[in-house]
Amino acid sequence: MIPSRSIPLLLSLATAAAAAPAPDADSLWTGKIQPLFDVHCVKCHGPIEQKGGLELDTPKAVFKGGDDGPVLVAGKPEESPLYKNLAPGADPHMPPKKQLGDQEREAVRLWIASLKDTPKVEPAVKQQERHFNSIPEAVDTLIAEGWQSRGVTPAQVVDDRVWCRRVYLDLAGRIPSPQEVDAFLALPQEQRREALVDALLTSNEYAVRMRELWDTFMMGRASRPGVDDKRKQNAWWTFLETAFKTNRPWNETVRTALAGRQDKPQDKGASWFLYERKNDHQAIAEAVAPIIYATKVDCAQCHDHPLAREIKQSHYWGLVTAFNRGKNVEGTNGVAESAVGGFVNFTNLKKESQPAIVTLLTGRTLSETWLSGDKKEEDSDDKYLDPKAKVRVPKYSRREAFAELATHENPLLAKAFVNRMWAALAGRGIVHPADEINARNVPSHPELLEWLARDFAANGHDARRFVRGLVLSKVYALAAGTGEAPPESFASAPERPLTAEQISRSWRVVAGLPAEDDALRRAAVRAIPAVLPKEYSASFQQAQFLSNSPAVEQLLKATPGGTIEKLTAISSKAARVQAAFQAVYGRNPDAEEATVSLQFLSKRGERSGEATRDLLWALMTGAEFLTMP
């Protein structure tokens, strides 16, 4: 176990943060005002209800005002009813039965003060589509234009050692070994980055890493014991890994999972996407929406989405209808489908009954004939491809028809993929949160998101091509910044926590062992389950795992030929410290780190093996190791 005083001595080097510039009106709206209004105002002044004719869900709606006229004067909060009515004792007082705190009212005041002028509502002018020769050119050009418009200075590009570590973590799910770093640096400088990316993209490690991400995105992190085992045993993992290994077009991969068919060898395991949800068609619909619509639709179950106007209750129930003829077949991992039935109605807020017609967010509709009145369609064997099959498939499959509709000529499918992958590789989505591309969440770089989505679809939904282009861009290679530029500007590398899989493999690389160890992976996942969290928050459970885990203790036992044995054999403590930093961080310690680490080893006297282990443990559980370089 690491001595409690060693971690802060070794790893807690305080730094003074530079004062951040005052945020502009857009940043204030996105970061503070919109969330505040969502909680306290939009229920009565939003898409569902507009008391007094006032809507407060978008800046344009706020500027428009209500039945009694404007509610704000740009740049003048003291003259704006929107702000004045928040004060204690105001008449009228808003919110009616609650008093906002001083900080909340101050945020509203700052936002109104930052507004330069009341915008004029003008018809939207469609921007001409620009041509770029490659993904890196599009990314670097459009992000740089964003820096200029925001008045921010980008960070410097990292050196080859740091970049090598970053790309190994992203594409192989682990840090590189010292030998792999040396091999990378031995390549001609003008070729080495492309050569490494191309090698990693065709490796088994890349396919596994992408499976880890998309298993979580599509299925959620396994929270119950045995769920991972079932996904593996029922070939779901193999299905995803094969798709990325063979670079199967993404729309085909999604179509196969939605249809739940396993007729071809490469489709084996695809049905587990539906099967695991145990005939819960609402759960299926809620899982499908972020993949094909790029946004969640959960909030539209009982009424139209209260915040995103384009998401209707009919979209939610139409998506449920697309899957409600399916049923798990016991003794298999297949999901059969009835040839008839599954026509349902839902009740809207006006207590009116509406048919749940399968309608995409794009407006396209699955054409089906509804029976009038109480008529019911009779089921019969002649309606199935093989009526004696255990998992019966109808000649007309609603599920398959929907899968085809959702994965062809659906621009939202491409947008969902590129934004999720951008978030996974750049720290946050062009739209944040990455799975909520809707009217509530404005893209930081709209033209870039549209271009990337169009390019992805136009090039056959080629996942490997997209990932290659992004990691070879200059934006991907930027160093960490000072925090002055807003994160949505992508002017520097954000602090990106590693996933449990990346951590467990990288620990094994440090220890001089093969990267894969399922027991260590499982222990790490239990302690650190988050993947692409909206906001990162460390937990006590994680701290306990990092500081006192039997799994890590077992890992750092002195095995023949392992790192602990090699470090302990170095007689010079100063040289041992340097070798430890090289093994863990791929760099030499700075002067202060070297001094503190040397003092730590010296205090342990003759217990060199134990001291070396504890030094390595402290470095491996420090913030630098647990975040993307």
For residue range 106-138, list pLDDT tens digits in order. Answer: 999 999 998 987 655 455 556 788 999 999 999
Tell me: do 471 and 535 sit in the same domain.
no
* 122 falls within a domain: no
- Whole-number Å distance between alpha carbons of 258 and 92: 52
Q: What is the pLDDT of residue 287?
A: 98
Q: What is the pLDDT of residue 9?
A: 33
| Strand spans (E) along 483-579 | none
Question: Which phi and psi angles does 171 have, rounded to 5°?
Answer: -100, -25
* 120 falls within a domain: no
Kindly compute the dihedral angle of the four CA atoms of residues 481, 484, 487, 491, in this order, to the nearest 10 degrees. Answer: -50
Binned at pLDDT 50, 70 and 90, residue 472 comes out as very high
Cα 571–575–580 angle (5° rounding)? Answer: 105
Q: Tokens for 136, please give them.
A: 């890196």
Pure H helices in 151-306: 160-172, 178-186, 192-201, 204-219, 227-233, 236-245, 250-259, 272-275, 281-292
pLDDT over 50 (residue 15): no
Q: What is the pLDDT of residue 159?
A: 97
Tell me: do 103 and 224 sit in the same domain.
no
Condensed to tens digits (0 to 9), the pLDDT of residues 56-82 reads 988 888 988 988 889 999 989 999 999
Q: Domain end: 470, 489, 508, which one? A: 489
Binned at pLDDT 50, 70 and 90, residue 566 comes out as very high
pLDDT over 80 (residue 88): yes
Selection from 108, 92, 100 nearest residue 51 by Cα: 92
* 335 falls within a domain: yes
Cis bond before residue 433 (omega within 30° of 0): yes
Lowest mean pLDDT among 15-29, 255-269, 347-361: 15-29
Q: What is the pLDDT of residue 541?
A: 86
Tell me: do 246 and 394 sit in the same domain.
yes
Tell me: do 364 and 230 sit in the same domain.
yes
- What stretch of H or E contains 328? strand 326-328
Question: Which phi and psi angles does 451 have, rounded to 5°?
Answer: -65, -45
* 128 falls within a domain: no
Pure H helices in 280-350: 281-292, 313-323
Which carries the bigger pLDDT value, residue 321 or residue 126?
321
pLDDT over 60 (residue 21): no
- Whole-number Å distance between alpha carbons of 497 and 151: 28
Binned at pLDDT 50, 70 and 90, residue 549 comes out as confident
Binned at pLDDT 50, 70 and 90, residue 377 comes out as confident
- Whole-number Å distance between alpha carbons of 181 and 371: 66
* 82 falls within a domain: yes
Average pLDDT over residues 415-439: 96
Tell me: do 240 and 324 sit in the same domain.
yes
* 16 falls within a domain: no
Q: What is the pLDDT of residue 120?
A: 53
Tell me: do 102 and 232 sit in the same domain.
no
Binned at pLDDT 50, 70 and 90, residue 333 comes out as very high
Coil, strand or helix at 75: coil
Q: Domain end: 349, 377, 407, which one? A: 407
Q: Domain end: 472, 489, 506, which one? A: 489
Q: What is the pLDDT of residue 35?
A: 86
Helices 313-323 and 281-292, interaxial angle, to 10°? Answer: 110
Lowest mean pLDDT among 301-310, 456-465, 618-627: 301-310
148 CB-contact burial (10 Å; exposed 0-12 / middle 13-18 / buried 19+)? exposed
Provide the domain count of the chain: 5
Q: Are 604 and 611 in contact (CB under 8 A)?
A: yes
Radius of gyration of the chain (CA): 28
Q: What is the pLDDT of residue 209?
A: 98
Range of the domain at 168: 160-201
Range with top average pLDDT, 369-378, 422-431, 483-492, 546-555: 422-431
Q: What is the pLDDT of residue 23?
A: 65
Q: What is the pLDDT of residue 123?
A: 52
pLDDT over 70 (residue 452): yes
Cα 137–140–146 angle (5° rounding)? Answer: 135
Tell me: do 415 and 516 sit in the same domain.
no
Selection from 377, 391, 89 nearest residue 260 by Cα: 391
The residues pairing with 353 across neighbouring beta strands, listed in sequence order, are 347
- Whole-number Å distance between alpha carbons of 242 and 526: 26
Cβ contacts of residue 184 below 8 Å, gap of 6+?
160, 164, 176, 192, 196
Coil, strand or helix at 368: coil
Tell me: do 286 and 305 sit in the same domain.
yes
- What stretch of H or E contains 593? helix 591-603
* 8 falls within a domain: no
Tell me: do 277 and 305 sit in the same domain.
yes
pLDDT over 90 (residue 242): yes
Range with top average pLDDT, 84-93, 195-204, 364-373: 195-204
Phi-psi bin for 586: left (phi > 0), alpha (psi -120 to 50), beta? left
Average pLDDT over residues 423-452: 95
- Whole-number Å distance between alpha carbons of 554 and 572: 26
The residues pairing with 394 across neighbouring beta strands, listed in sequence order, are 384
Tokens 């996974």 -> residue: 424
Task: Read off the amino acid at residue 344.
Answer: V
Tell me: do 421 and 369 sit in the same domain.
no
DSSP state of 176: P
Check the CA dihedral 64-69-71-75 and report its sign.
positive
Lowest mean pLDDT among 457-466, 505-514, 538-547: 538-547
* 191 falls within a domain: yes
**Would you give the end-to-end CA distance of the chain in angstroms?**
26
Share of the chain above pLDDT 90, in %: 69
pLDDT over 90 (residue 344): no
pTM of the model: 0.88
- Whole-number Å distance between alpha carbons of 486 and 144: 14
Average pLDDT over residues 241-245: 98
Tell me: do 480 and 506 sit in the same domain.
no
Q: What is the pLDDT of residue 418?
A: 98
pLDDT over 80 (residue 22): no
Phi-psi bin for 226: left (phi > 0), alpha (psi -120 to 50), beta? left
Q: What is the pLDDT of residue 11?
A: 37
Binned at pLDDT 50, 70 and 90, residue 426 comes out as very high
Binned at pLDDT 50, 70 and 90, residue 16 comes out as very low
Tell me: do 77 and 214 sit in the same domain.
no
Selection from 215, 187, 133 nearest residue 455 by Cα: 133
Q: Are 271 and 260 in contact (CB under 8 A)?
A: yes
- Count other C-beta atoms under 10 Å from residue 112's C-beta: 24
Q: What is the pLDDT of residue 24?
A: 76
Query: Beta strands 326-328 and 335-337: pairing type?
Result: antiparallel
